[in-house]
Amino acid sequence: MNKHYEVIAIAAEKERLERYGLKNKVRTFWIEMTRAITPFQDLKALMRLYNFLKEEQPLIVHTHTPKAGIIGMLAAKLAGVPIRLHTVAGLPLMETRGLKRKVLDSVETFTYRLATKVYPNSYELKKIILKLGYTKKSKLKVLGEGSSNGIDTTYFDPSIFEKDEKLKIKEELGIPEEDFVFIFVGRLVSEKGINELVTAFSQLHQTHPSISLLLVGPFEQELDPLSDEVLQLIKSHPKIFTTGYQEDVRPYFSIGNVLTFPSYREGFPNVVMQANAMGLPAIVTNINGCNEIIQDGLNGKIVSAKSISELKVAIKELLEDSSLRSKLTQNARKLIQMKYERTQFWQILLKEYKELEALHNHD
């Protein structure tokens, strides 16, 4: 976008934002934001962003994530920004009930009302938004085949990692060289299906000792805790390995055989696209986003959310059926390159910006 617009990146993680700005040669602006409901801090963030936008007078503000969405869209509206765009990459509120759910429903509706255009990052998510009545159909648009930013398959490329390098990574983690590795990448929280995954894996390990489970990502016990039993199992099981948060997940994908991603809700999960691009078939749940990237029996397997038994059957099938696994592996990368290549997505997004700009200039 630098070739067409002056880009300013705004985010809440200060150090990562500064690194991002230097790497991508864009200006940055830091705003302290939380992911929880924190009215006082949110108001401070809103005022800070409003003052910044009032001074900058941008043509376009494009937000991602629910918190950035409500603060960004409201600040942009108050500051008179003409083109206000919001991408929806999943609805965290889907697993919420009661008064909190009502509050989040209202926030989502208000965010969409403030936006000039809303981009669900999958076709199934678009259906859910319409069903929940957050906005009218004319305001919604899915870009391309879906996703928020596509996938750079020159970056997520399995050929980058040589055999010796992969053996070294396994050795450093303590994973036996001959083990079959199931990998999960993401936050280690309840709504990602970690309780079910760890339980299914530990049951299967009793009859298949040469398997390992690699969990790549941070624990968030304060936000969405795992059960005490599962937490203890992760810490004590000889074949469950954790890495904590990792900025570059490719080395871990390179030693994996199958992605296990039993999430309860997603938008259009990057992790599933990344794993496929790295040549890994994926076991995912039958939820929007996941069931659009993965076609059952073609580049992975689809199971019901929250089902330990179905997850265990799928894990066992891909472990034991090498011809099926080979077929899924061969298709995985090809499908991503065909449908979700990042440079293609950028062109679609640029076209959208230019069309909206022309419309604004005409008005």
Q: Is the pTM of this model over 0.85?
A: no
DSSP single-letter state for residue 193: T
C-beta separation of 260 from 241 below 8 A: no
Predicted local confidence at residue 35, as pLDDT: 81
Residue whose C-alpha is closest to residue 158's, from 52, 40, 46, 280: 280
User: In whole numbers, what is the pLDDT of the chain averaged over residues?
Assistant: 95
Q: 43: pLDDT confidence band, cut at 50, 70 and 90? A: very high
Mean pLDDT of the 179-193 span: 97
93 pLDDT above the threshold of 80: no
What share of the chain has pLDDT > 90, as a percent? 88
Predicted local confidence at residue 100, as pLDDT: 86
Tell me the pLDDT tens digit for each residue of 204-249: 999 999 999 999 999 998 888 999 999 999 999 999 999 999 999 9
Tell me the pLDDT tens digit for each residue of 139-177: 999 999 888 889 999 999 999 999 999 999 999 999 999
Give the amino acid at 23. Answer: K
Tell me the pLDDT tens digit for each residue of 105-131: 999 999 999 999 999 998 989 999 999
Predicted local confidence at residue 151, as pLDDT: 94
* Rounded Cα–Cα distance for residues 254 and 268 (Å): 22
All domains in the chain, ordered by first residue? 31-147+342-362 (3.40.50.2000), 158-339 (3.40.50.2000)
96 pLDDT above the threshold of 90: no
